[in-house]
Structure 1
Amino acid sequence: MSYDYTLLTIPSPGSTPDLEFVYVESFDDARYLDSKDAVSAYVSLWSRLQAAALGPKESLDLLGAVAKQFS
């Protein structure tokens, strides 16, 4: 399953809060979500993805190890 989405923030002038929304793309549709709950859910998902991701050096090491298996 894939979660194709983009978190967007448009700065607002003055004391008005920034406009935050999520662009969600699927096979046959695309939507913009701007409810606080929806944006919060996708921000949380992004945080979990970042926490699970390898760092730059670890990513390069993994890619090198996989490349060795196919050479």
Structure 2
Amino acid sequence: MRAPVPTIRIASIFASGDGGAVSTVIENLLSRKQKLVEQLEKAPSVEDRDKIEHQLEQINTALDFLDRPGPRGGE
């Protein structure tokens, strides 16, 4: 079983309250997602597609986590 490493890294940035860093992380995740989608279209084997789809799931989980509303500052 693979650990959702991106979510852990993002959680620590998100918890720091640094909105600029979160925006950069989101941009990087979206860029990585686009590259993976392009790779998925060209993947020669089922195994390669499975690996790419797993990475896409991790990215989607991380993006969902970042999109969640949560307590900010003194709210």
Q: Which has the higher contact order (CA 8 A, sep 6+)?
A: 2
Larger helix proportion of the pair: 2
Calculate the TM-score normalised by the size of structure 1.
0.38
Which protein has the bigger strand share? 1
Q: Mark the structure with the bigger radius of gyration.
A: 1
